[in-house]
Amino acid sequence: MPTLDTALMARESPVIRGETYHASMPTASASDEAKSVFMRDTYTGRAVVDILILPGFELHDLSVLLDTFHLANDLSQREKIVVQVVGLTVAEVPSSIGASVQPTYAMPERGAVANVVILAGQDATAGETERLHQWIRARLCRSVTISGIGGGCRVLAESRALQGKMAAAHWESCAVLRELYRDTQFLDCLLVTDGRITTCGGRCTTLDFALLCIDQLCGNEVARRIADKFNRDQFRPLNKRQIDSTEVGTRRLPPSIRRALEIISNNIEEPISSNDLAQMSQTCPRQLQRLFVRHFNMTPGRFYQNHRLRRARQLITHTSLSITEIALATGFKTASHFSKSYRLLFGVRPSKDERSPRKENPKLGIEVAG
């Protein structure tokens, strides 16, 4: 039987203001500077970018940025993107796979750099002290552009820089981030620029981020040639969902089931009845039940509850929310009902399931310059 647990997690139809990115999109001009990911120096036309790496960052994200920006300068035959790798200190920063990178500078030494990209692991909790959060907010007050990639999105959220904004996040993290930061609209899409903040889910979408920056700074032809080198045959629209497994996994399913799966994914906190689910899926309850039993070997109600419980497990293992809060967030009226259902599915009580440790480190921090 096919399973759609992964495909259903954190899926919603994103809506993004502005143009989507495609191969014929014109290069950003001076009049479009406010829409650009990076700001350029008025006199040299170059973009000076600091890549801030935090413990647990993903090497893939860093290497994609460094490789593509280096290629862009080579193909442009001039240095249009000046990049430095920085850390909170100059000490080596461990990546998600254990390999460490030595920053060139510590963040406090850099002064007023126009553009900052924050890289962190997907499970980052931004426990890197309030000083870092203050520093981020101070940069935004000084008209610096800040981009968060991968776990860098969560760092920005914890710094309160994303309040009232739209943001992209890796599809695996969307459900957790939406629950933790309800004043931010997290979207399952490639990337989002809202004001001077750009967010990107990381991993494969880091290349989309880099190509967009290069298109804006070096021109569409340079971006095309770099895409070719990375075997990317086309520029993906920015509002495209990050993975196609939902479409691939459900392509052969009847339209009514595909509609039901989308409705289930988007109604976790306040579940709807089986009759309403059937009506919204444009079929009758009996037919919907027959289809679910045929394709998933369970009724729509059981499928719905199991999906909510898997969402709950994601919140348990990646947040510090209480069991009661998680139960309510996933549509259970009482903690006792939630605990019983959770144990039946996973074989363990929710209070005994493993939680990811909060990454608190009081030694990490930077001085806030003015």
Q: What is the DSSP string of 286-355?
A: HHHHHHHHHHHSS-HHHHHHHHHHHHHHHHHHH----HHHHHHHTT-S-HHHHHHHHHHHHSS-GGGS--
- Read off the pLDDT of each residue in 310-327 and give the average, rounded to a whole number: 87
Separation of alpha carbons 170 and 150, rounded Å: 6
- Read off the pLDDT of each residue in 150-154 and give the average, rounded to a whole number: 93
pLDDT attached to residue 35: 67
* Helical segments of the chain, H only: 5-8, 59-76, 129-141, 152-158, 174-180, 204-218, 220-229, 245-250, 255-265, 274-280, 285-296, 300-318, 323-329, 335-346
- Read off the pLDDT of each residue in 330-345 and give the average, rounded to a whole number: 93
Beta pairing partners, 168: 187
Asked whether the predicted pLDDT for residue 3 surpasses 80, the reply is: no
- DSSP state letter for 109: G
18-74 per-position pLDDT tens digit = 333 333 333 333 333 336 899 998 888 899 999 999 999 999 999 999 999 999 999
Asked whether the predicted pLDDT for residue 281 surpasses 60, the reply is: yes
- DSSP state letter for 25: P
Question: Residue 110 — pLDDT band, cuts 50, 70, 90?
Answer: confident
pLDDT attached to residue 279: 94
When mean pLDDT is compared over 32-36, 157-161, 231-235, the highest value belongs to 157-161
Asked whether the predicted pLDDT for residue 331 surpasses 60, the reply is: yes
pLDDT attached to residue 352: 86
Task: Please report, for residues 99, 173, 177, the alpha-carbon distance to residue 125 in angstroms, rounded to integers and kept in the order given.
Answer: 20, 12, 10
| Crossing angle between the packed helical segments 204-218 and 59-76, to the nearest 10 degrees | 20
**Coil vs helix vs strand at 47:** strand
Residue holding tokens 């954190």? 10
196-217 per-position pLDDT tens digit = 999 999 989 999 999 999 999 9
Domains and CATH numbers, the chain: 10-229 (3.40.50.880), 253-352 (1.10.10.60)
pTM across the whole model? 0.74
Q: Mean pLDDT for the chain?
A: 82
Least confident of 104-118, 185-199, 298-312: 104-118
Name 367's Cβ contacts closer than 8 Å, sequence gap at least 6. 108, 131
Question: b/e map of 241-267 (b: 16 or more CB within 10 Å)?
Answer: bbbeebeebbeebbebbbbbbbebbeb
Residue holding tokens 């909790």? 125
Greater confidence, 236 or 12? Answer: 236
Surface-to-core class of residue 345, CB atoms within 10 Å of its CB (0-12 exposed, 13-18 middle, 19+ buried):
middle
- The tally of CA atoms less than 13 A away on the side-chain side of residue 178 is 24
Question: Residue 345 — pLDDT band, cuts 50, 70, 90?
Answer: very high
